Amino acid sequence: MITAEDFIPSPYQNTIENGQFHWSAPSNIALVKYWGKKEHQIPANPSVSFTLNHCKTITSLVFAKKDSDEISFDLLFEGKPKEDFKPKIQKFFERTLKYLPFLTDYHFTIDTQNTFPHSSGIASSASGMAALAMNLMSLEKTLNPEMTDAYFFQKSSFLARLGSGSACRSVKGKVIVWGNHEDISGSSDLFGVEFPTQIHNIFHNYQDTILLVDKGEKQVSSTVGHDLMHDHPFAERRFAQAHENLSKIKKVLENGNLDDFIKIVESEALTLHAMMMTSLPYFILMKPNTLEIINKIWKFRNDTKIPVCFTLDAGANVHVLYPEKVAVEVLKFIQAELTAFCDNGQYICDLLGAGSKLIMNN
């Protein structure tokens, strides 16, 4: 079994004075949710997600050798300094220094931008942390050119997880499992792995239309929410349920049974929010329009038998999931009946994607 110690590198063969890398990493949407964690970003239960294609963070990392042994970096968002992102990156560097000892050798300039509108309520921490981890691994690969691709991607996911748990599922596509699960060979609490068997054709180019219900700041961050799963009255049952749902959805992803897919995915979304409503302190992240949309989706599905369903992340926005072959009908329905409940009528059309991409190498 791979342990965290396996990601501590041996002394590097090469040196490099300065340079630059440039990576994009996508967002992802969980089908079985990660909610609750232990020390060192170890998830309380396994999760599985679809990697998205269009919603991405694009990050460049410029590095130059320096003398002091402090962590030192500048952070830019769309080319302009962004002080409020710095503490999260500082913490990330501190957590990963043990695994990337070169971090104190360089001054870094990190410039990052998203393809989705900022403050859209879409989690950018997953794509953001993954894009940064990819860049740092490109630098490590320059210092140790013998590194295998398998190690490169596994360690990228391992590092991304230390920045934000769900980020470890944004390194690769198209379906990623994170967390130990008895039915998924090679699964690990330390990094995400690609779904191990063939996925049914119905999931090819599966669509995710993200309805932007509320673009405001969340009242409760995911980190606080995860913490409230300690001492939560339903925690143990919930963690066991996630294991059960992962076993079930594994079969569904293989056999393409969309009735079962819908039941698992919608139940997971509502369970996530039920955990929020039953923690102490309790909180609600759904908005009235979230519920309006859910009811409309249920009615449409009942009337037309078109297999469209929803999922939610830790916010009010709704992800509408459906097969590519019904995309025309579903988009018509979204435009006619759901955009009225979106902030400024805004939504984003996305689909399953292949994971992070190298844009520029040194």
Residue whose C-beta lies closest to ligand DP6:
165
Handedness of CA 261, 265, 268, 274 (dihedral sign): negative
Residues near ligand DP6, by CB under 6 A: 30, 33-35, 41, 47, 123, 125, 164-166, 222-223, 226, 272, 313-314
Strand partners, 351: 207
Phi, psi of 168 (to 5 degrees): -70, -15
Q: Shortest CA distance to 123 belongs to which of 212, 194, 24?
A: 212
Minimal distance, residue 234 CB to ligand DP6, in Å: 16
Q: How far is the CB of 277 from ligand DP6 (least distance, A)?
A: 14
CB closer to ligand DP6, 142 vs 188: 188
Handedness of CA 98, 99, 102, 108 (dihedral sign): negative
Q: How far apart are CB 148 and ligand DP6 at their closest, in Å?
A: 27
Nearer CB in complex with ligand DP6: 44/314 = 314
Could you identify the residue written with the tokens 């690609």?
194
* 194 CB neighbour count, 10 Å cutoff: 17
In angstroms, what CA-CA distances link 213 with 77, 116, 199, 272, 340?
24, 15, 31, 18, 10
Q: How far is the CB of 279 from ligand DP6 (least distance, A)?
A: 13
Compute the Cα dihedral for 339, 341, 344, 346 and give only its sign.
negative
Minimum CB separation of residue 343 from ligand DP6 in Å reads 19
Taking the least distance from each CB to ligand DP6, the nearer of 48 and 262 is 48
If the CB atoms of residues 60 and 166 are measured against ligand DP6, the closer one turns out to be: 166
Q: How far is the CB of 163 from ligand DP6 (least distance, A)?
A: 7
- Number of other CB atoms surrounding residue 56 within 10 Å: 26
Nearer Cβ to ligand DP6 (22/165): 165
Cβ proximity to ligand DP6, 31 vs 262, nearer residue: 31
